[in-house]
Chains A and B, each alone.
Chain A
């Protein structure tokens, strides 16, 4: 059975239904429940996809893809609605559908006006992200990529904080520059292969042929890498991220951090590195160094942040640096580590954004220096904040460690100096997270007005995230059994 098409298009349809429902009073008041139902159905569909993918003997059709379905759309231009998943995209699809359920749950109390529009945009962006992770046609990939961008712009711009307009425009324009770079790359690839098809496998095949001019390969690779570096984001293309994350309402920050950044990481593996492996091989080392610099740099800048949400944003950049490094090692351990890191980072940083956003909502400030003793005042938040921070610094037994272990192993195979530099991030991040906990969560309680502890739907969402962090940390086999065969296949077929 084809599980992909409903997984991608159901949330899109549901989003438009919500958009229509927003005209009625009934729709407005029932929007949160409708959205929860929508995201839960999508989650079930994606579990169906996961089960089917896991059950069937790996049926490789093109490269490392399976589950290949295709509908004619614009055959004259060589554009088809082609979808497929493999061991790299399946975990990310699951990450998306799980995260979106939690996003809806945690929006429950935060979003008070124009609810139906809000949830409709959330559902549309879910469809966009799922489309990005499953498209096998570059043109369709681009459409889904942009389909995420526009709802996000409104989500930040309408429901955001005090500097929402600046941040929303900065986010839109900045990441759009990345999209354009990517689109240019796609067009070069499309026209230089004869303008016949946007099919990913077709273009990948043409690009790897020895007769294809080297300079065009480099041009495509450069354009794509630039686009994905902005999206991930990697130093020095990262400044859209802190502003967007800080100004967005917390559930939207979760969508940004847990899912949008992963689009960049996924594109980096799937399109830049896997599609043009020979060029990737010659540029891998500088790209890896950039990842290391980004991880160290963002960790150091995080020390100075007084706004806890901003600190988490920089920590997010630092951890995404690991993803880039893992891919650029061109080893199967590194790729498994990167995909695992994307999944784990999505969950951990998602928890941290929800928690730090909640701190702001319940106390009226997110400034670490003005807070203190939250563990005493709001113990559930204190406990979960401690847990999520320990997960973020890579505590073994929790999911972040597994990914960092694999990525560091892969990095050390490229030399002691890069490995040590990246390993230093482990100590650095322990430093700023523990310092934050000491001042904000522990210490003497300051005179702060709080409007209650975590409860209800927010608590359920965070409990789901925490359970996943523990399960994957204790038994990472669950996820790596999907990623590992594909990563092995990629390394074998590309010949790295």
Chain B
């Protein structure tokens, strides 16, 4: 085993292997065993850094035999190091580390803290395993573990009925998508006789020969990504998942769960390119999700829900980038988004920690009282809106440029228009939250004085703020760590560069969005509440705030299933099938009365008769 191989195995498995400590012994450890979690993820983060620095020039695959299926080829699983997996594992490890440090104070006084750390360790370890996995089978294993951990973490406060319901919803809705992923990779195994990434990435067309089948498989796998990344139409779990602790939301929304869907498509990108029309579907789903989520963010008053819709919208941007061929830009935006979204959530969490409310209308005045927290939110909001020099600007600019180029080559400008309009909406909803929640004076006087959060919570925010100023330059004329993808996989074309005029347009749109929020909420030059008056406005508001009725439709289906079909089948089972059985029984009993003299109906006697019978046979045989 080479050093690099040992490191590759250790990164995901170390936190998972040590995860039993907090839950079993947390009661006897300070902070419920939080230091174990931080130390193990910290080591993984350092090892991930070493991997990135020592990356071999060609992808390497370390695997062991895992399953024998009776046929000639055994299934192997292991870990795969290349440029993409090294970047992803670093994003996950470092962001998770910051969030875990922040949790030390934020979650410090909760009951059942050992459970929290254990689940966070498996969660982070699984995401790193997902990033490094060398076969689709292993990716699926970690994918589902991520889902199960998110289920447990969203339901951390399980005694609250809303939290228990939200956890179940997250698991089941995502599972519906997972069935697509599952079927997709089963088909790959069936027709391609392999699940190794190496084969799929280097020879997608010889592994799966039929183009129709490639498209089918790619779309099925994408359905899994839709569920995990909360895209249309499987997004409904994401807003409800805000019932979990804010640190969990921060992790889910930045570097783990939702990022997994985007990473899945990125990981299998050569295969998606070899599947006709699959990327078009990805682009449309991404563009529509980006736009519709932004509209939902505009009408919500719950700070965490606004951020949740924002996540859905930004993941839409990443999917769009993948769909229009800007592979590197998607990963670049994933990195930048992970940083500024973690920052926004940690700021929201600090407010919640101090004020105890998530409703922006009940906040206000924080800019004075919680300076670091408020500035953190402002920096995150500027980055999210795409204002330079914050990192969100750089990646969003490349995505918009690529979407425009896509329109120019295919004639489909709709994707570009959707993403461009979303820029205004994004800036408007996030600055609405900032102005109403942080800047405007509070509506009611405070019951107790409000103080800034302690250093263990503010330092992770400060680090993240610094990062929003740094990571944008990773793709610039100076340095570009996101384009060497081409040298790893010659199948992936370089991302097109956009003309400077487009940058001016998108920047203008972002400024318009901020100005709208400023003039409506701070200056009151117009009354935003009037927008939802009148016949059209009222209906539109209802449509958007109900989440375009997806939730209602799913509830109806679930209800129909459990109360309609299932009720009918249960009745069928009890009355018809079991009724028939009992009926036959009765009939036989009636018949049996005639031979009652022999058959006493007592099983004990049968046992005796059976023994006598066997003895009789033996005796007869011996005599004859």
Chain A residues in the interface with B (C-beta under 8 A): 74, 76-77, 143, 146, 150, 153-154, 170, 172-174, 236, 238-240, 297, 300-301, 303-305, 331-333, 335-337, 373, 375-376, 386, 390, 393, 395-397, 401-402, 405-406, 408-409, 412-413, 419-420, 423-424, 426-427, 430-431, 434-435, 437-438, 441-445, 475-477, 480-481, 483-485, 487-488, 491
User: Are the C-beta atoms of A150 and B603 separated by less than 8 Å?
Assistant: yes
**Cα–Cα distance between A419 and B65 once the two chains are bound (Å):** 26
Chain A residues, Cβ within 8 Å of B614: 143
**Cα–Cα distance between A438 and B585 once the two chains are bound (Å):** 39
Q: Please give me the residue from chain B that is nearest to A173 by CB atom.
A: B585
* B67 adjacent to chain A (CB < 8 Å): yes
Chain A residues, Cβ within 8 Å of B68: 336, 477, 480-481, 483-484
User: Are the C-beta atoms of B70 and A150 separated by less than 8 Å?
Assistant: no
Chain B residues, Cβ within 8 Å of A335: 70
Shortest C-beta distance, B421 to chain A (Å), equals 35
User: Are the C-beta atoms of B570 and A301 separated by less than 8 Å?
Assistant: yes
Shortest C-beta distance, B185 to chain A (Å), equals 9
Q: Please give me the residue from chain B that is nearest to A73 by CB atom.
A: B618
Q: Please give me the residue from chain B that is nearest to A236 by CB atom.
A: B577
A interface: dominant SS: helix
User: Are the C-beta atoms of A444 and B159 separated by less than 8 Å?
Assistant: yes
Q: Please give me the residue from chain B that is nearest to A489 by CB atom.
A: B70
- With beta carbons under 8 angstroms apart, the residue of A390, A402, A475 that contacts B148 is A390
**A74-B617, A427-B172 known; A402-B67 Cβ under 8 A:** yes
**Cα–Cα distance between A488 and B152 once the two chains are bound (Å):** 40
Q: Please give me the residue from chain B that is nearest to A172 by CB atom.
A: B603
19 cross-chain CB contacts under 8 A: A170-B581, A239-B573, A297-B569, A300-B566, A304-B562, A333-B71, A376-B159, A402-B67, A406-B69, A408-B182, A408-B183, A409-B186, A412-B186, A419-B183, A426-B182, A438-B167, A476-B66, A481-B68, A484-B70
* B350 adjacent to chain A (CB < 8 Å): no
| Number of residue pairs A-B, CB distance < 8 angstroms | 168
User: Are the C-beta atoms of A76 and B190 separated by less than 8 Å?
Assistant: no
B interface: dominant SS: helix
Shortest C-beta distance, A98 to chain B (Å), equals 21
Q: A300-B569, A303-B566 are in contact. List 17 more A-B contacts (CB 8 A).
A: A170-B581, A239-B573, A300-B565, A331-B70, A333-B69, A373-B158, A396-B143, A402-B67, A409-B189, A412-B183, A434-B151, A434-B168, A434-B171, A438-B167, A442-B164, A475-B66, A484-B69
**Cα–Cα distance between A444 and B65 once the two chains are bound (Å):** 45
**Cα–Cα distance between A480 and B74 once the two chains are bound (Å):** 10
Q: Please give me the residue from chain A that is nearest to B64 by CB atom.
A: A477
User: Are the C-beta atoms of A153 and B603 separated by less than 8 Å?
Assistant: yes
* B567 adjacent to chain A (CB < 8 Å): yes
* B209 adjacent to chain A (CB < 8 Å): no
**Which of B66, B68, B145, B570 has the most chain A CB atoms closer than 10 A to its own CB?**
B68
**Cα–Cα distance between A484 and B68 once the two chains are bound (Å):** 6
* B621 adjacent to chain A (CB < 8 Å): yes
Q: Please give me the residue from chain A that is nearest to B161 by CB atom.
A: A443
**Which of A297, A304, A386 has the most chain B CB atoms closer than 10 A to its own CB?**
A304
**A239-B578, A435-B168, A481-B68 known; A395-B183 Cβ under 8 A:** no
Going nearest first, the 6 A-B pairs with the smallest beta carbon separation are A332-B70, A484-B68, A396-B141, A442-B158, A487-B70, A442-B164
Chain B residues, Cβ within 8 Å of A77: 617, 621
Chain A residues, Cβ within 8 Å of B281: none
**A150-B603, A332-B70 known; A397-B159 Cβ under 8 A:** no
